[in-house]
A and B are shown apart, each in its own frame.
Chain A
Amino acid sequence: MSTQEEMLSGIKDVPLESNQGDPLIAIRDLKVHFNLGGGRVVKAVDGVTLNIYRGETLGLVGESGCGKSTLGRAILRLTEPTAGHVMFRDRDLAQLSRRQMREQRRHLQIIFQDPYASLNPRMTVGEIVREPLDTFRLAKGRKAQERVQELMETVGLSKRFIKRYPHEFSGGQRQRIGIARALAVDPDFIVADEPISALDVSIQAQILNLLEKLQREKNLTYLFISHDLRAVRHAASRVAVMYLGKIVEIANAKAIYDDPLMPYTKALISAVPVPDPTVESTRKRMVLEGDVPSPINPPNGCRFHTRCPYAIEACKEVVPPLVEIKPNHFAACIRISPEQPQIESVAPGPDAAPGIIS
């Protein structure tokens, strides 16, 4: 097996952030294609290259069908990648046998959107949280029992609930159970896939705060997947934007929200309603025409060109690479460059779909 350095040096065009140290997880040219037959292929993830650094929360945003959940699952091999590499502790997770991969899951965990569907309804909370301890032979008997109680306490569940079943809990409490189960193995890395989307507003804040507290205490690294851009702004240190299987922009969270470069990111950020009537009444909004195209046989060239107000002829042909437009701020758009980073100063496309600026 090759070492991480060899792996990484063998692949070109890796947008590497400076001053970030070694990544905990290095994803290289990862692809997940689903063959539907009849020449129809869903390219859910289509050549994603990303670094996830130790102790950070990388936010992954995009609209439904963009491939963000598939990417999260492919890292953990819950969905098998079609091609590419996922480097973790000098191993390429994508190349491991199933048995080897199962061992690695001790370090890599996931929290799901629907905490009810992801908990076995016939197991008590105690059994659910204990199961990973048994699977990985991490604790037995009395020790395991103590560990379960400790985990429940960590996520804010009373020990009294240990013999109860998932249906006896509210959505927020179920999400806490899911988090306790993920923490049982003391993982390094957690994929949080829409962890608060199914929860009430007042409960979302509780879970976001819990995740942040756990990260501080246990030096966890998160991939935080969500369509809720407000939650991601709050939770993430860096944010990657995905559109139809590709990463189209990546930078630290502040830069993504205050100074988005790629037209799709601009539209996405400007579509987020701000909970402030004064701001809402004055802000300009870039409203996109049309829907996200089908991920089955997506558009050629830049996949956003069908909805982009700035698209020109070349955008239909050239697949734009991620380019470091500003320091540590990467965007995939051929119409901008380090010399000309603002898309607004570029002429709109001749026959491009008009974006309404209202």
Chain B
Amino acid sequence: MSTGNGNLLEVRDLRTYFHTEDGTVKAVDGVTFNLRRGETLGIVGESGSGKSVTTLSIIRLIQSPPGQIVSGEVVFDGRDILRLTENEVRRIRGRRIAMIFQDPMTSLNPFMKISRQLMEMTRLHLGHSKAQAYAHAVKMLETVGIPDPRKRADDYPHEFSGGMRQRVMIGMALSCQPELLIADEPTTALDVTIQAQILELIKTLKQETGTSVILITHDLGVVAGMTDHLIVMYAGKVFEQAPTRELFAVPGNPYTKGLLRSVPDPTSARGTLYQIRGLPPDVAHLPPGCPFAPRCDRVEEICHREFPPFVRLTPDHSSLCHFAGEVYEESRLEREAISGQ
């Protein structure tokens, strides 16, 4: 409302470090992005890339020590969350920014009826009376497709299947009509047919409520169908950022390119898969220069020596690579060659 440029969230140069015995882990190191109202942003990366720490920093859920938000701004609807008091943050968290996690069992209290857990949200944030909160809880369970919601409301979490628990979590997250929903690997623990149900549910609810969504996943298939924009993270850095279609069609970073090529395509047959060599980086001991250099196919001498620039390829497509322009051009030519066939 107050930002005036359509951005609900602006993250600027966010740095979150963990001080460990093994040295300082720069889990998130200079992350910058915008999220427009009503948009779905995907954050893709492998374990240790910093995708979850980024969103935990946004809602100030980094445990300190060992973690510390070293610098940056997280401007949510015109206010920098990092500069708010703990009390002010609590009024935003759950109310205006809600979060769902990979494993709904660990985020639900096993000793509390589902209804009570849902009621807590609206009683705290919306000042509902007990009766109002209960009615709202049942309505939310219905919204997320729990069959027989009136009866199920008084069940305990263990009485629900994994998919149903994730529905409950989504119902709880959306119960205060948040402006931003952060979903961290929401379907990773679920079977594919259940994953399809949950993704469909998030899509529908998003259309109905206009909530903005940040979807964190390692699955390129999931982001392909769900997101408007994508961020690819590696070793705590944003490696590439673009509208989803553009990023899949003309990747401008060797890591993104490798990742896209190494995923088996369910529509095509056997043959040797492209593989990124080597291992994911040890974030506590990053090499100088580009953190992907030891695994990169088109590495040159400069990559080992100098940290790469974040190159703007188009107004909304950027890539962290010394050769971003060339990689982008290559992808464009490959694309033309394929569509020319």
* A63/B193 in contact, CB under 8 A: yes
User: Taking the complex as formed, is A281 at the interface, i.e. its CB lies under 8 A from any CB of chain B?
Assistant: yes
Given contacts A170-B280, A230-B221, A275-B221, contact A287 B266 (CB under 8 A): no
* A202/B266 in contact, CB under 8 A: no
- A interface residue count range (under 10 / 10 to 19 / 20 to 34 / 35 or more): 35 or more
Bound-complex Cα distance A274 to B195 (A): 13
User: Taking the complex as formed, is A235 at the interface, i.e. its CB lies under 8 A from any CB of chain B?
Assistant: yes
* A201/B225 in contact, CB under 8 A: no
User: Taking the complex as formed, is A64 at the interface, i.e. its CB lies under 8 A from any CB of chain B?
Assistant: yes
Set B245, B264, B279: member contacting A277, Cβ < 8 A:
B245
Within 8 A of A (CB), among B140-181: 147, 161, 163-164
Closest to B48 in A: A200
Residues of A within 8 A of B274 (CB): 205
Contact with A along B225-243 (1 / 0, CB 8 A): 1000000000000000000
Set B163, B248, B258, B280: member contacting A276, Cβ < 8 A:
B248
Within 8 A of A (CB), among B245-269: 245, 248, 258-260, 262-267, 269
Set A64, A204, A277, A287: member contacting B224, Cβ < 8 A:
A277
- Among the interface residues A237, A279, A358, which one has the most CB atoms of the partner chain B within 10 A? A279
User: Taking the complex as formed, is B330 at the interface, i.e. its CB lies under 8 A from any CB of chain A?
Assistant: no
Set B192, B194, B200, B277: member contacting A272, Cβ < 8 A:
B192
* B218/A271 in contact, CB under 8 A: no
Residues of A within 8 A of B279 (CB): 170, 172-173, 203
Closest to B269 in A: A254
Residues of A within 8 A of B263 (CB): 201, 205, 230, 275
Within 8 A of B (CB), among A237-291: 237, 253-254, 257, 267-281, 285, 287-288, 290-291
* A202/B264 in contact, CB under 8 A: no
Given contacts A271-B196, A276-B224, contact A202 B275 (CB under 8 A): yes
Set A204, A234, A281: member contacting B225, Cβ < 8 A:
A281
Given contacts A227-B191, A285-B196, A291-B163, contact A275 B273 (CB under 8 A): no
Residues of B within 8 A of A274 (CB): 221, 224-225, 265-267
Residues of A within 8 A of B163 (CB): 291
CB distance from A297 to the nearest CB of B (A): 16
User: Taking the complex as formed, is B270 at the interface, i.e. its CB lies under 8 A from any CB of chain A?
Assistant: yes
* A200/B46 in contact, CB under 8 A: yes
* A202/B276 in contact, CB under 8 A: yes
User: Taking the complex as formed, is A139 at the interface, i.e. its CB lies under 8 A from any CB of chain B?
Assistant: no
Bound-complex Cα distance A227 to B295 (A): 28
Bound-complex Cα distance A257 to B221 (A): 16
Set B222, B262, B266: member contacting A229, Cβ < 8 A:
B266
Q: Which of A9-17, A185-193, A206-214, A334-342 contacts B (4 or more CB under 8 A)?
A: A206-214
- Among the interface residues B218, B224, B258, B295, which one has the most CB atoms of the partner chain A within 10 A? B224
Residues of A within 8 A of B192 (CB): 63, 227, 229, 268, 271-272
User: Taking the complex as formed, is A48 at the interface, i.e. its CB lies under 8 A from any CB of chain B?
Assistant: no
Bound-complex Cα distance A272 to B290 (A): 34
CB distance from A49 to the nearest CB of B (A): 25
* A280/B196 in contact, CB under 8 A: no
Q: List 9 A-B contacts (CB under 8 A).
A: A63-B194, A200-B218, A201-B220, A205-B263, A209-B273, A229-B192, A276-B265, A278-B245, A287-B200
- Nearest 10 CB-CB pairs, A to B? A273-B221, A280-B225, A234-B264, A205-B262, A63-B191, A271-B196, A275-B220, A205-B275, A202-B276, A200-B46
Q: Which residues of A contact B (CB under 8 A)?
A: 63-64, 170, 172-173, 200-206, 208-209, 212, 227, 229-231, 233-235, 237, 253-254, 257, 267-281, 285, 287-288, 290-292, 356, 358
20 new A-B contacts at CB < 8 Å, known A271-B192, A273-B222, A358-B200: A64-B191, A200-B46, A201-B220, A201-B262, A202-B258, A206-B277, A212-B270, A212-B272, A230-B263, A253-B270, A268-B192, A270-B196, A271-B196, A272-B192, A273-B219, A275-B265, A277-B244, A279-B267, A291-B161, A291-B194
